[in-house]
Homo-oligomer: A and B are copies of this chain.
């Protein structure tokens, strides 16, 4: 299992009966012991894509039910509709062992997604009215390196560079910009866009607020294109921290400057005295 540092291997799923798949949460893709949400979402979306006959993810929503730890997981898929253009699939992700390695069944993630064939070729209409933000090249950004606590171990599984303005975790703005690529020049498939959508630090970490974590309730990723090889440029921003909740909007562009994903998540803001 020497290739478990590669994303494709670490998120692989295999068929295991009718509408059922298996995989294994690999160590190292975690934040304080809990597997990254985008990593889990990518595994679940692989199972959904397989159940959709190999169609690619277009719009995928994950709800996070409990923390994922290294170990075996099962994916129970339900094809709600298999249409001419789109397949709509639900995926229940179930952990099969507890923290001591004993057998159990614990729901981790519930996913709902639309999968389709190569959406990028079907329309001749194009109108884009925002520009990719101009940020320093990766060599002039700040590399994140994982440790036991913060930055988390996950940062050793990807090459993530933060905009110098954002890397001090005190900019005062709930914003992170930067770059990400997989290790060893591994290509970024649509599933890796889900990792990209959740691998930057929570925007609130830059807002100078007493918020130490922000557990994600729900994350939706729209895949808008297949990335060309190279760095992905990313931008994550929040506008409304209120009522114990914050949204985080993400945009991901490939090395040619083309948007390849949009994301939005809703996260809990725990009480500052809690």
Contact = CB atoms under 8 A, between A and B. Distances in A.
Contacts of A240: 128, 130, 224, 259, 262
Contact of A90 (B90, B220, B245, B271): B90
Interface stretch (A116-124, A136-144, A146-154): A116-124
Interface in A39-67: 58-59, 61, 63, 65-66
A176 B154 CA distance: 41
A45 B197 CA distance: 27
B244 A120 contact: yes
A107 B124 contact: no
A270 B81 CA distance: 20
B262 A125 contact: no
A88 B80 CA distance: 18
Interface in A132-188: 173-174
Interface in A80-112: 80-81, 83, 85-86, 88, 90, 92, 107, 110, 112
A269 interface: yes
Interface residues of A, number: 60
Interface stretch (A2-10, A19-27, A29-37, A203-211): A203-211
A218 interface: yes
A269 B269 CA distance: 36
A107 B80 contact: yes
Contact of A80 (B110, B126, B217, B266): B110
A125 B209 contact: yes
A239 B58 contact: no
Given A65-B81, A92-B80, A211-B125, A114 B218 contact: yes
Nearest to A88: B63
B63 A245 contact: no
A211 to B, nearest CB: 7
A242 B251 CA distance: 15
Given A123-B244, A241-B125, A243-B120, A59 B114 contact: no
Given A65-B83, A128-B241, A129-B173, 15 more contacts: A58-B245, A66-B81, A81-B110, A86-B217, A114-B217, A122-B243, A123-B269, A124-B271, A124-B273, A125-B211, A126-B241, A126-B242, A220-B264, A224-B240, A242-B259
